[in-house]
Structure 1
Amino acid sequence: MTSPAQRASAGDPLGLLDLFGDGFVRDPYPWLAALRAEAPVHHDPGTGLWLISRYEDIRRVLLDPDAFHPDNAQHAVTPLPVGVLRVLARAGFRMPPALADNGTPSHPGLRRLVTRFFNARRVAAAVPVIERIADELLTSAAQRIDTEGGHDLFPSFAQVLPCRVLMELLGIDGVSPATLIRWSDASLELFWGRPTPSRQLELAELVGEFHQWLTRTVTGGTASRDSFLGALAEHRLPDGRPLDVPTAVGVCFFVFIAGQSTTGQLIATVLSRALAEPGLWSRVSRDEGLAEAWVEEVLRREPPVTTWRRVAARPVELGGVDLPAGAQLLLMLMGSGSDPDVFASPERLCPQRANVRQHLSFGVGRHRCPGASLARTEAAVALRVAARRLPRIQPGPEAAGTPMLGLLSFRAPLRVAVEQA
């Protein structure tokens, strides 16, 4: 099969690109390289989106919220048919702008509220909590490996660790981690996937349940004032009005998904790549700072959040292309981390890379991810504790065929199969 660059040079610039196709999901790097080289601002007919792939262009968009609005960040990629809209309406589903898609004056205050609960001091204080939960989960995993010879660390560890940590940090109870994970994953698939109409109906039921639970949780009135939910209840909008319930639910919707699903995806990728890197697993539990450095390189090269969307507020030139007002942009965050103009030998994972923190995987500017510190810390602790508790494991025989999550903005291994070395 010819590469994307070969097709481009033959007069077919990326004509076969399918952002949901198995070829792109399994190995997006040739396509991303072709986009940067041949069409850094490329209109994708399959999605109607303008794909922005060069680091400097993506950074410019993220740092100019007046020209590029976040309004479309959480729009459903696959249009929702009437039947699905009815299911969501019956559940009272309503999602006004809150965080990632909020370009209104309410955003700075809401962002400050969320950031206060995930700042560096709170995250440092949470490390013992993360270590305790990780150790508990890995005790069970070690027993399974001993008795069965192999185990999948994705559902038993990578997925559930950030969910349980988030529940403990935010004081959430009365629901199981498995239920929260199911609701969160369904939300990602419904709004960022390409599900069939019948699958959309199934997902909408789960998303409706999630929204109803969030609404009950927000309006329960039992949270202490110093808790996250208590802070939402006390929050005032720029005009002095109390925060309305739909927006408070929207904040929680974003925090719960980002705080568990995408962090679980990061942990899965960090573990998979560490197990595959010769010599790393045996060093990561004893070499100070290595786990953190490895996480940062994985974030640069293979972040769980691969793309994000913006909409042009007015006609604008970007990367030598004139875009009309209303143009829908897809910022290829994963491609920006592999831009050779910024990162030397980008295909190599180099834990001591000098400029690794320049990556855009958490965004930059006004909408930079407020949970970045927690995600980094959880992934590093997960890797370090796993290497210490499971020192003699290796990738399982089926690792080469690991299925991948392939949504528009999210990508990660769906299995971390290991066996005794």
Structure 2
Amino acid sequence: MLFRSWERAPTTTDATGAGSGVVAGARPGADGGGQRWPDVARVTDHVGVAHLLVTRHALVREVLTDPIRYRPDNALDAVTPMPVAALRTLAAHRFRLPPTLANNSGVSHPEIRALVAEALHPTRVAAQRDWLAALVRRRVAALDATLDTGVPVDLHAGLAADLPLLVLARLVELPDAPVAAVKDFARAALELFWAPLDADRQQTLATEVGRFHLVLREFAATGGGLAGRLRAAGHPPDVVVGALFFLLVAGQETTSQFLTLLLHRLTGEPAVLAGLRDGSVAVADVVEEGLRLEPPIVTWRRVAAVDTTLGGTAVPAGTSIVLWLARAGRDPAIVPAPDEFRPGQPGSRRHLAFGAGPHRCVGDQLARMEAATVVAETAELLAGVRVARAPWCPDNLTFRMPDTFLVHR
């Protein structure tokens, strides 16, 4: 899913980067409608800003792995420019997002990233598996009992929504805030920075994000775990807050989105569920195919640092580049059956759901562990349900943000 206004508007670009309006040499579609897209397309967003949309796997990877020509400086920029009133609200709460992780092209990035990676080390992640499996098992049993009474259950709210946050809190010693408050904050941040919005909605979201930002600022000054290690390394308070801010978005909200999207996809894949139950289909292969076909992060942004070319298209310095990660996973150049859910098919693991290059997601093993645990523990339940209400995702440039996912026996 892209901005809905882009989904039916493919154009090619000529050698100067100008849109031709003709989809010559475009690649097969992967949006379920057979639509064809060029490797690089010129698109205009809801406020009239032009972007280059990159769709081909090789070109998306080229951009992500070249921090010299393509910088991450715009990764966290609001796609809807904020009015003065919203900016004042954020300023009143001392809200700032200095370069820390996703938007950091400076010399501080490797050290900050290393500290976060240490907190999310695969050994520490693996140590959470048994605890998480037991929690998921209890929740599945409760959902199963409710289904037995004939009442539908919400697999998003009842199972997936808060699991990644609970695990993350154990790994990095997050502030002791109510789960609901953290989830509301994270979704508000995803909407404020990546959704098309009117001024009233921006003001509401700025107030919500600003208030929780103060909580993070207080914790950054005194908290242990990752916050303490960042302070000990000499990073200023704004950097510590920025790292925590990003973790609360990328470190848990995206994974809960993926869990819901994957569970929904699996309800429509009876052969895969049967294979999970009899052991002929590997859980890890299901997770990778899910990441390829149902990634929670649809796009990511870069800005051209110099005049360059990409796939034969001229890219002037300063150009906003939108990398269509979800489409790159369905590129026929990397998998033989790009639109089919075939766990273990060649190329399935070449998806870019976690990005690539120096900014590749440091929580990839955490997300994989959480998804594998949930898939293993829910296969039996999913095989016996029907979808009563599929998840709905609001318009958003980058995140899918599914809501309620109701199933019944």
Q: State the TM-score, normalizing by the size of structure 1.
A: 0.86
The one-letter amino acid paired with 2:395 is: G
1:139-169, CA deviations, whole angstroms, 9 ceiling, x for partnerless residues?
A: 4323432335211111121111111111222
The equivalent residue for 1:396 is 387
Deviation of residue 30 (structure 1)? Answer: 4.3
The residue number in structure 1 matching 2:305 is 313
Cα distance change of structure 1 residues 167 and 330 upon mapping to structure 2, 3 Å threshold: same
For 2:87, give the aligned amino acid.
L
In the alignment, the residues of structure 2 paired with residue 111 and residue 29 of structure 1 have an alpha-carbon distance, to the nearest angstrom, of 37
More displaced stretch, 295-304 vs 368-377? 295-304
Q: Which runs of 5+ in 1 are unaligned?
A: 15-23, 236-241
* Deviation sequence 1:193-213 (CA, Å, 0-9, x none): 112211111111111122111
Q: What is the alpha-carbon distance in structure 2 between the residues aligned to residue 187 and residue 107 of structure 1? A: 22
| Contact kept? 1:129, 1:165, Cα under 8 Å | no
- Residue among 393, 397, 403 paired with 1:408: 397
Residue pair 1:291, 1:383 contacting (<8 A) in 2 also: yes
- 1:65 aligns to what? 67
The answer to whether 1:417 aligns with 2:406 is yes
Aligned to 2:211: 209
The aligned counterpart of 1:155 is 157
Q: Would you say the 8 A contact 1:52–1:329 is kept in 2?
A: yes
Bigger drift between 283-292 and 178-187 goes to 283-292
Kindly, what percent of the aligned residue pairs are identical? 35
- In the other structure, the counterpart of 1:118 is 120
Partner residue of 1:239?
A: none
Sort the Cα spacing of 1:384 and 1:77 in 2 relative to 1 into closer, same or farther, 3 A.
same
Contact 2:272 2:281 (C-alpha < 8 Å) held by counterparts = no
1:276-295 aligned within 5 A = 276-287=268-279, 290-295=282-287
Match of 2:3 in 1: none
Contact 1:269–1:412 (CA under 8 A) maintained in structure 2: no
The reply on whether 1:50 has 2:59 as its aligned counterpart is no
User: 1:304, CA displacement in angstroms?
Assistant: 0.6
Deviations 1:81-115 (A, max 9, x none): 11110110111101101001100000011111111
Q: 1:232 maps to which residue?
A: 230
Q: Cα deviation per residue 1:243-299 (whole Å; 9 max; x = unaligned)?
A: 001011111111111121100011011111111102333442552762221110111
Amino acid at match of 1:137: R
Q: Are the aligned partners of 2:389 and 2:404 in contact in 1 as well (CA < 8 Å)?
A: no
Kept after mapping to 2: 8 A contact 1:4/1:13: no
Task: Check conservation: 2:276, 2:282, Cα contact below 8 A.
Answer: yes
**In 2, are the aligned partners of 1:133 and 1:164 still within 8 Å (CA)?**
no
Using the TM superposition, give the Cα deviation of residue 13 of structure 1 relative to its aligned residue in structure 2, in angstroms. 4.5
Q: Distance in 1 between matches of 2:179 and 2:10?
A: 47
Deviation at 1:396, TM superposition (A): 2.5
For 1:29 and 1:133, locate their aligned partners in 2 and report how far apart those are by CA, in whole Å: 36
Aligned ranges for residues 56-205 of structure 1 at < 5 Å?
56-205=58-207
1:29 positional shift: 4.9
Q: Offset of 1:405 from its aligned partner?
A: 3.8
Secondary structure, counterpart of 1:311 in structure 2? strand
Match of 1:348 among 337, 340, 345: 340
Aligned residues: 388
Q: 1:90 to 1:5 in 2, by over 3 A?
A: closer
**SS in structure 1 opposite 2:42?**
strand
Q: Secondary structure at the match of 1:325?
A: coil
Offset of residue 412 of structure 1:
5.0
Helix, strand or coil: the match of 1:260?
A: helix
Aligned to 2:292: 300
After superposition, the C-alpha distances for 1:277-331 in whole angstroms (9 at most, x for unaligned) are 0233344255276222111011112211111000000100111111111000000
Q: CA RMSD in A?
A: 2.3
Distance, in Å, in 2 between the alignment partners of 1:292 and 1:137 is: 22
Give the match for residue 263 of structure 2. 271
* SS of equivalent residue, structure 2 residue 128: helix
What CA distance in whole angstroms lies between the structure 1 residues aligned with 2:138 and 2:200? 38
Alpha-carbon spacing, 1:133–1:6, altered in 2? closer, same or farther (3 Å): closer
Instruction: Could you tell me which runs of 5 or more consecutive residues in structure 2 were left unpaired when the two chains were aligned.
Output: 1-6, 13-19, 24-28
Q: Which residue pairs with 2:26 in the alignment? A: none
User: How far apart, CA to CA, are the structure 2 residues paired with 1:385 and 1:173?
Assistant: 29
User: How far apart, in 1, do the equivalents of 2:216 and 2:386 lie?
Assistant: 38
Q: Residue 127 and residue 325 in structure 1: after superposition, are their counterparts in 2 closer, same or farther (change >3 A)?
A: same
Please report the TM-score for the alignment, with normalisation by the length of structure 2: 0.89
Q: Distance in 1 between matches of 2:280 and 2:106?
A: 43
Cα 1:197–1:416 change in 2 (3 A) is same
Q: Deviations over 1:4-43 (max 9, x none)?
A: 59998xx8548xxxxxxxxx9xx84548x522xxx32222
Q: Matched residue of 2:210: which SS?
A: helix
Q: Is the 8 A contact 2:222 2:228 kept in 1?
A: no
CA gap of 1:285–1:378, structure 2 versus 1, over 3 A, is farther
Report the secondary structure of 1:303's partner residue. coil
Distance 1:13 1:84 in 2: 40
| Correspondence for 2:4 | none
Which aligned pairs between 1:5-44 and structure 2 lie closer than 5 A?
A: 12-13=21-22, 28-30=31-33, 34-35=36-37, 39-44=38-43
